[in-house]
Structure 1
């Protein structure tokens, strides 16, 4: 059975600099896979390469289908979704509208219909909001919500539509301990509903608590892989993170 996400030899060049070198990873249905590494290790570059936002060599497959020759919106239609570090929510739209924009196969048309009031929220939108408990804030704007709730809205929007794989790029950044723990429960709920989840984060407590497997990047290459306990005990990983706090 094919993994839901597979990359083989993914390599990204910026001029003469290799930001990613031959990265090969897999993520299966229902699995939360961590991707960690020190700042500048190439984690976000990898997400950009997988989702088509930066040119790369190598292959990317989703549920056995090669998508590395497709444009970002085509990869999204193939079931490959992502979040962004900055959130990228539409601040003038409600929570419901932010999620509805991403639902369906024509997001720009969805946006126009939402803005003009021509379109009711789809069952899909309602289902995603219910999964994350967002119904009470459905008609509020993102700026009225806590940072933790805004992060949840961003993930909910990524899950609107057909999703086989979701890549979460530092979703817990800025969250306190309780918010991060609550967010981790949502991530496990996502995986439990079927998709593969690739989680990038610096919160080692979160990573150790919810990830089934972890890959570690340093200078754009994978230096370790295994369970959270195995990689966090690896001397090479600790050397890469020298000066940073790691969960024992």
Structure 2
């Protein structure tokens, strides 16, 4: 009997008035697996991430490591090990890279408050450095985001989501704005993350990245999953070509 997946949604449904944004979406991500979620603009991809992370009301089940999270608030889902990035993932430019990561795991109302973020005491310094090292940013801890390339800034955003015991990572268009070389480097870093056992759900319009780095891919259209499978099958699926790709993607 196969083990239960690390992460799963079951019949996840989101409605905004009369609009059905997600229609009974069921998907899984295993430990150490990178799973893609693609589809045209307006297909419901970001809505799904919002629902999974607790920022949009939904029906259906959200499970992480055997624990039901639907009904829990965003902070409780984060504490359980579910983390996300945002399309507009701006960093605090007046803080160092390490302080940006510290801000993500500082507990609201904690005794140390802003002092930690401003450098007097850094919470979980070892975990912060480990996240940066994993993404090849170990030497950037004391630099400001404006001193880094766009590709490095994107990786800082991912590192910020990794700190704090993350088991499942939801990435919402993390490669937006990257050139081909930077996107390739970004994909290599995602593989390093997955190799540690973290599950990754990747949403992106960079089809070269998605088809190269993902183990499996789900395709959304009008809020429904219209196809799922390995990248090679998705690339040549007639329904996917018609709804999203427009033409078969070359090897």
| TM-score under structure 1 length normalisation | 0.94
Contact 2:43 2:221 in 1 (8 A): yes
Structure 2 residue aligned with 1:149: 152
CA change 1:136–1:63 in 2 (3 A) is: same
Contact 1:83 1:167 in 2 (8 A): yes
Structure 1 residue aligned with 2:183: 180
State the Cα RMSD in Å: 1.6
1:125 aligned to 2:128?
yes
Question: What is the CA distance between 1:116 and its match in structure 2?
Answer: 4.4
Q: Gaps (5+ residues) in structure 1?
A: none
Structure 1 residue aligned with 2:40: 38
Q: Gaps (5+ residues) in structure 2?
A: none
Question: What is the CA distance between 1:107 and its match in structure 2?
Answer: 5.8
- Distance in 1 between residues matched to 2:108 and 2:208, nearest whole Å: 35
Specify the SS of the correspondent of 1:70. Answer: coil
Structure 1: 4+ residue segments shifted above 4 A: 242-245
| Structure 2 residue corresponding to 1:10, chosen from 9, 12, 15 | 12
- Aligned pairs, how many? 247
- Distance in 2 between residues matched to 1:39 and 1:112, nearest whole Å: 38
| Structure 2 residue corresponding to 1:61, chosen from 60, 63, 67 | 63
Structure 2 residue aligned with 1:228: 231
- Distance in 1 between residues matched to 2:224 and 2:156, nearest whole Å: 32
| TM-score under structure 2 length normalisation | 0.93
Specify the SS of the correspondent of 1:172. Answer: coil
- The superposition leaves residues 72-120 of structure 1 with CA deviations (integer Å, 9 ceiling, x where unpaired) of 010000000011111132222110101122236x266466122443313
- Distance in 2 between residues matched to 1:129 and 1:208, nearest whole Å: 26
